[in-house]
Amino acid sequence: TPDLGRTAAKADPLAGVRHVIAVASGKGGVGKSTTAVNLALGLRALGLSVGILDADVHGPSLPTLLGLHGKPAARGRKLVPMQAYGLRAMSMGLMVDAETAMVWRGPMVMSAITQMMADVDWGALDVLVVDMPPGTGDAQLALAQGTPLSGAVIVSTPQDLSLIDARRGIAMFRKVDVPILGLVENMSHFICPDCGGDHAIFGHGGAQAEADRLSVPFLGAVPLAMDLRAASDAGRPVTASDPDGPLGRIYQTMARAVM
C-alpha cells in the first residue's frame, strides 16, 4: 500500500508538462482506456513528447494495454515513469495489487491519485494524458478540480444510456471550468470481416448528434473492431503498431483535433 499520509512535494510535479488532458467516461467498459492509450500514441505520432497516467485505480488497464511488467524504478524520492512505444507511462496497477485498490473509497482514491501525480518524475512533456476513473462521483469531481487540466475528452458508445452518462461527464467538467475538447463515439459500428457489411449494433450517429446538441466538438467514430481489441489485449495497441492504418488514422485525427 502506498503511504497515503505522506505530504506531497511542494514543488509542482507537473511544472514541466505543457498540457494535461483527461480522458473520461460516464460509465465503465465503453473504451475509455483504449481511447486514452491510442490518443496518447496518436499525439506521439504527431511528434509530441507524451506521458500517460492511469488514474483508473479500481480497474487499471494500462499495464495490459502497453505490456508493462515489473515495478517502476525510483530516482531519489521520485518514481521514474516506465517507457512503452515512446510514451512515459505510470499506472496504479504497477504500484499496488488489484485487491487493495478495489476496496478504496472516494477520498482514498483521490489521495492515491494526488500522491501518484506528485511522486512521478514526468520531466518535460508536451502532453500528459490522464485516464480518469469512470463515472461522475466525488473522486472524479475532486480530480477534475485538483488537476491543472487543459481539457477533457469524453468517450461514449452510441447507446442512449451511455450518452446520458457522457452528458453528466460533460456537465461535471463544465462545473469546474475544464474545457471539453470533444466527444468520441467508440464501438460506433461493426464492419463484418465475413460479409463486409457495416452494422450499427448500438445504433449509429448518437454521439455526433449529442455533440452537436451540447456544442462540443465531435472527435470521431471508432468502429467495434476485433483487431483493436486483440491488439490491446496483447499489449500492442493499434496506433503503435500501425499508426497509418485505418484505426491509427482515426486516433491521429483525434490527436490533431485536441491539440
Residues annotated as binding site for ATP?
A: 26-33
Site for ligand ADP in 171-210 (CB under 6 A): 186-187
Which stretches of 46-189 are DSSP H helices?
62-66, 98-102, 106-119, 138-146, 160-175
Q: Find how far residue 111's CA is from the centre of its chain.
A: 19
Name the grid cell of 240: 503503435
Binding ligand ADP by CB under 6 A: which of 43, 68, 222, 255?
222
Which residues in the chain belong to E strands, given as ranges? Answer: 17-25, 50-54, 74-75, 78-79, 82-84, 87-91, 125-131, 151-156, 180-191, 198-199, 218-224
Q: At its nearest, how many Å lie between ligand ADP and the CB of residue 224?
A: 4
Residue placing its CB nearer to ligand ADP in the complex, 38 or 115: 38
- Among 79, 228, 238, 254, contact with ligand ADP (rule: CB under 6 A): 228
Counting residues that bind ligand ADP (by CB under 6 A) gives 18
Least separation in angstroms between CB 232 and ligand ADP: 4
- Convert residues 48-87 into a mask of x (bound to ligand ADP by CB under 6 A) and - (unbound): -------------x--------------------------
Backbone angles phi, psi at 208, to 5 degrees: -60, -45
Q: Distance between CA atoms of 86 and 244, rounded to whole angstroms?
A: 16
**Does residue number 135 form part of the binding site for ligand ADP (CB under 6 A)?**
no
Cell triple for 116: 501518484
CB-based contact 100:1 (threshold 8 Å):
yes
Assess 232 for contact with ligand ADP (CB under 6 A).
yes
- Alpha-carbon distance 133 to 242, whole Å? 28
Identified binder of ligand ADP from the candidate list 32, 44, 88, 189, rule CB under 6 A: 32
Rounded to 5 degrees, what are φ and ψ at 227? -70, -30
Q: Judged by CB, which is closer to ligand ADP: 31, or 243?
A: 31
24 binding ligand ADP? (CB under 6 A): no
Q: Which residue has the cell 499489449?
A: 235
Q: Residue written as cell 491539440?
A: 259
Among 20, 25, 79, 117, binds ligand ADP (CB under 6 A): 25
Binding residues vs ligand ADP (CB under 6 A) = 25, 28-34, 61, 134, 186-187, 222, 224-225, 228-229, 232
